[in-house]
Structure 1
Amino acid sequence: MNWVNESIFYHIYPLGFCGAPQQNGQDAPVNRIGKLSGWIPHLRELGVNALYIGPVFESSEHGYDTRDYYNIDRRLGSNEDFKRLCRELHENGIRVVLDGVFNHVGREFWAFQDVQKNGSASPYCGWFHNLNFGGGSPLGDPFWYEGWQGHYNLVKLNLRNPDVVSHLLGAVGMWIDEFGIDGLRLDAADCVDMDFFHQLRNYCKGRNPDFWLMGEIIHGDYNRWANPGALDSVTNYECRKGLYSSHNDKNYFEIAYSLNRQSGGNGGIYRSLCLYNFVDNHDVNRLASTLSNHSHLCNVYTLLYTMPGVPSLYYGSEWGVQGVRQNHSDAPLRPCLDLGSIPSPNLALLNHLKTLGKIRHALPALQYGGYDQLTVKNEQLAFLRATPEQQVYVALNLSEHPEYIEFRGRTSALVDLFTGTRFETNDGNFKLELPAYGARIFVEPHVYEQYVQQADLPAAVSQPEPARPEPRTLQIGRYRHFKGNEYEVVGCARHSETLEELVVYRALYGEQALWVRPLEMFLGDVERDGKPIPRFTWIG
């Protein structure tokens, strides 16, 4: 499904984002959901082109205790308000995915209230899972029913009942017709009857072959739910954990193992899936509260945007907003946020994500390419994303100081998209320095030129090269060769016979061999793309 592979998702929990009251009364609808219109320019700057909006339908409290599948929650507005918002999002090239909460409803769901009123005479007794009149419920009902995971305010639906299925599919049809939605995220998908997913898929794909179905799955084999007969994708909780803990533990082997298991070479068990990747959401602590060192934030998101699957940002986390679940409450994870008044915004992270958005949209290899691991160390990781037409090399360093990394390439030259720095090799083996807490994303030179033009960027977007001392004289210290390798000048010697000045320098990687070169040649230029550039550039 091309539009998903080519997407960057943004996830909001609407009741929290809009500052809605915690409890739903019988007040007239208030158009709070329209607040999202003002965020559209921000989403576009981030490169977001798909919006996953958490539960929006009439509920009693938190959105997952549904009252009515056919009406927008009055705390968020009316159906007309939401229809206008969806139209505006689509006009700005942003697709809309809604939360499909089909496993359970709230106790104020109209059919359950009929059972409370009419008892066994209610025509809706068969709508609820394991409902019987052989005893009372923990909440005082004169009948028993199954609550979701023991939560009796969440009444489990009987998805084997054709009337229940008809009611739910009718609601989805209305959402497609009225709001033009492009997909659904299926809540608690591991608890939902698989036959229902088969029926949901046939219904939605019959309406729109490009309709996307993604399930919330925390544990298990993802292929059980994501396959040609059921869902298109699932939440990638396995890598969510690895993305942060590999940095906290300074152990890239953890996330590398998951990436290789899922997508590596010809053996990856999920190679045919475009998994929904994320680092935080409305149910788990914010990334900025989970990482022990905030210097790793950029690297985590670099991985999120370059690994196989589709990346998703949780609202506010682009500024490094923090939040931790407290006293069994998710409220700290679901704050009301307003543009222009974000608490302690991390603007460097925001700008990094904007750059990553441009990079991801410009490179099909990041959207469709395979995954091949190149180098794995505790604190360094390199991998290749490639299609037959394009190669993208990603290298990361979680150490607090610069480190070298080596990997084999399929080309003689690579350019770092973050800096515009070019690296060359004569033997296919690249040996290069990574910045502290930093990463490089490499492409071939012709791809870099296309990227610069497409993204409307200067040749270097960050981390400019250190200035070379002028006039050009030999300095004791580090130099970068025009092919990318780095060396340390030890000193200047004289030839014993000719008295010619010779630079003595050593490699800063590998065997650290000593070399000599005539001073004039060392400080001279070479021609690159028709322009003279220094053979060696002083970097301090």
Structure 2
Amino acid sequence: MKWYDKAVFYHIYPLGLCGCKKENNGEKEQHFDKLTQWSDHAAELGFTAIYIGPLFESEGHGYETRDYKQVDCRLGTNDDFKKYVAHCHEKGMHIIVDGVFNHVGRTFPAFQDLLKNRENSAYKDWFCNVNFGGNNEYNDGLSYENWGGYNLLVKLNQRNPEVKSYLFEAIKFWIDEFDIDGIRLDAADVLDFDFMRELRGFTSGLKEDFWLMGEVIHGDYSRWANGDMLDSVTNYELHKGLYSGHNDHNYFEIAHSVKRLLGICGDTRLYTFVDNHDVERIYSKVNNKEHLYNIYILLYTLYGIPSVYYGSEFAIEGKKENGSDWNLRPCLELDDFKDAYENNEITALCAKLGKLKKDYEVLSAGKYEELLLTNRQFAYSRSIDKKTVIVALNNDDNEAVITINPRTECMGAKIILDGSNKAKNEEVEAKAENGNIIVKLPANYGTIIELS
């Protein structure tokens, strides 16, 4: 398996985590000591990769890029980042950064040249649908295509050979200077397909197993994630099912999404998550907080590449207010969570699941098979080389005893995820009987069972 197919990602939004100013006025700050501390925390919990971004010099929230070869001065310097990557590599973690190639900020030098020199600008074809007879809210005396209706995000023309050359040179710089291991393509669902195909070939020639993952919300994910373009895309469909399937006591929704996506994407592992910097925290979206336990088991054990957003391992809240995302991107201090390792069930669960992912290759490489499905109980297996584990879940408010046909020869059943709900003083039980697995699950609880 390639490193990313068995990775467990920790997602850091650095400008938020570090409490940086929301507008970049050029004042230099230094936060890589804090970022290193949080990455060490991630390693301790069993994460094997860090997705950190946005990272490069920008105007505000990070996606209005100003300089593709400079770390945002609100975080630190290029040298700071180089040392940070080396440290994470020493800890056994790969590093992924944001690649914002669809649009730039208005202070991007080429766009400033366009505003100044208009029709005579050497960069007039770097941007999409520039109209010198138009205007906008900035009173530029011209208009242009943007992203999402926001004129502060100027759309790049990815079909322009000069633009492609510029961006590819920047990517080579990140690899050569910082030794990054992959790129998350922002707004990949509106990037030019030919651009992504060329990008795949270019990066494959620069670094073996360099990972390209794209931000895609809706649609047929295989259009982007395939052998010619990206290695993976964000699995927003499953993200929705993971919370609504529990809120509605409807495991059919989750199972249907898994089956549908496997049918569409085949062996391609999608980037799975329960929350991120653009959506509300899972703690705030799930009605019954006890369901978090099963949601995280699903995140780690379904077919895909799991990712946990910083702070969510502590089960923190986070809701949008007045359309703003800043509540989703808070400044946090690790010292405020020092008791979580012993007292927070979700923190402890992430650590256990991270260890299981390292110890049991079947949880990453194993074939998925649905074994039992009702509105409130769900069981599936992951199998490879005659090794099988079963994930059994109960989202009912009452204890459930379920009988699972493992569809393979089975003499014994061993619980490998701590089988006790200490808060309720209830035990999980599992046994092999007449070729079946009989599992007793406490209310709103799940487990993982190894067959022998």
TM-score of the aligned structures, taking structure 1 as reference length? 0.79
Does the 8 A contact of 2:429 with 2:441 survive in 1?
A: no
- In structure 1, what is the Cα distance between the partners aligned to 2:391 and 2:85? 36
- In structure 1, what is the Cα distance between the partners aligned to 2:278 and 2:38? 23
* Secondary structure of the structure 1 residue equivalent to 2:267: coil
Within 5 Å, give how 1:154-303 maps onto structure 2: 154-263=153-262, 268-303=263-298
1:20 alignment partner in structure 2: 20
Shift of 1:197: 0.3
- In structure 1, what is the Cα distance between the partners aligned to 2:272 and 2:22? 29
- In structure 2, what is the Cα distance between the partners aligned to 1:164 and 1:424? 61
- In structure 2, what is the Cα distance between the partners aligned to 1:337 and 1:252? 34
2:399 partner letter? P
* Larger RCO of the pair (alpha carbons < 8 Å, separation 6+): 2
Does the 8 A contact of 2:241 with 2:257 survive in 1?
A: yes
- In structure 1, what is the Cα distance between the partners aligned to 2:358 and 2:253? 27
* Secondary structure of the structure 1 residue equivalent to 2:229: coil
Higher radius of gyration, 1 or 2: 1
* Secondary structure of the structure 2 residue equivalent to 1:385: strand
Shift of 1:425: 3.4
Does the 8 A contact of 1:260 with 1:372 survive in 2?
A: no
2:82 alignment partner in structure 1: 83
2:314 partner letter? W
1:120 partner letter? E
2:38 partner letter? W
Does the 8 A contact of 1:397 with 1:439 survive in 2?
A: yes
RMSD: 1.5
CA-to-aligned-CA distance 1:466-495 (integer Å, 9 cap, x gap): xxxxxxxxxxxxxxxxxxxxxxxxxxxxxx
- In structure 2, what is the Cα distance between the partners aligned to 1:167 and 1:137? 27
2:445 alignment partner in structure 1: 438
- In structure 2, what is the Cα distance between the partners aligned to 1:42 and 1:141? 47
2:352 partner letter? T
- In structure 1, what is the Cα distance between the partners aligned to 2:114 and 2:175? 30
Q: 1:384 aligns with which of 381, 395, 400?
A: 381
Shift of 1:26: 2.3
1:135 alignment partner in structure 2: 134
1:66 alignment partner in structure 2: 65
2:279 partner letter? V
1:341 equivalent to 2:341? Answer: no
How many residues align? The count is 440
Shift of 1:426: 4.5
1:428 partner letter? G
- In structure 1, what is the Cα distance between the partners aligned to 2:132 and 2:383? 60
- In structure 1, what is the Cα distance between the partners aligned to 2:48 and 2:432? 38
CA-to-aligned-CA distance 1:184-209 (integer Å, 9 cap, x gap): 00000011011110111111001113
- In structure 2, what is the Cα distance between the partners aligned to 1:364 and 1:407? 22
Shift of 1:49: 0.9
2:423 alignment partner in structure 1: none
Within 5 Å, give how 1:362-401 maps onto structure 2: 362-401=359-398
- In structure 1, what is the Cα distance between the partners aligned to 2:115 and 2:336? 46
Within 5 Å, give how 1:501-512 maps onto structure 2: none
- In structure 2, what is the Cα distance between the partners aligned to 1:162 and 1:77? 32
- In structure 1, what is the Cα distance between the partners aligned to 2:63 and 2:133? 28
- In structure 1, what is the Cα distance between the partners aligned to 2:287 and 2:169? 47
Does the 8 A contact of 1:412 with 1:424 survive in 2?
A: no
Shift of 1:138: 3.1
1:475 alignment partner in structure 2: none
- In structure 2, what is the Cα distance between the partners aligned to 1:423 and 1:413? 9
Does the 8 A contact of 2:39 with 2:50 survive in 1?
A: no
2:364 partner letter? Q
* Secondary structure of the structure 1 residue equivalent to 2:363: helix
Q: Which runs of 5+ in 1 are unaligned?
A: 446-540
2:424 alignment partner in structure 1: none
Does the 8 A contact of 2:430 with 2:440 survive in 1?
A: no
**Greater CA deviation, 61-70 or 383-392?**
383-392
* Secondary structure of the structure 2 residue equivalent to 1:272: coil
Shift of 1:134: 1.9
TM-score of the aligned structures, taking structure 2 as reference length? 0.95
Does the 8 A contact of 1:55 with 1:63 survive in 2?
A: yes
- In structure 2, what is the Cα distance between the partners aligned to 1:226 and 1:40? 28
- In structure 2, what is the Cα distance between the partners aligned to 1:89 and 1:343? 21
1:464 alignment partner in structure 2: none
2:2 partner letter? N
Q: 2:354 aligns with which of 346, 353, 357?
A: 357
* Secondary structure of the structure 2 residue equivalent to 1:396: strand
Shift of 1:436: 1.4
* Secondary structure of the structure 2 residue equivalent to 1:195: helix
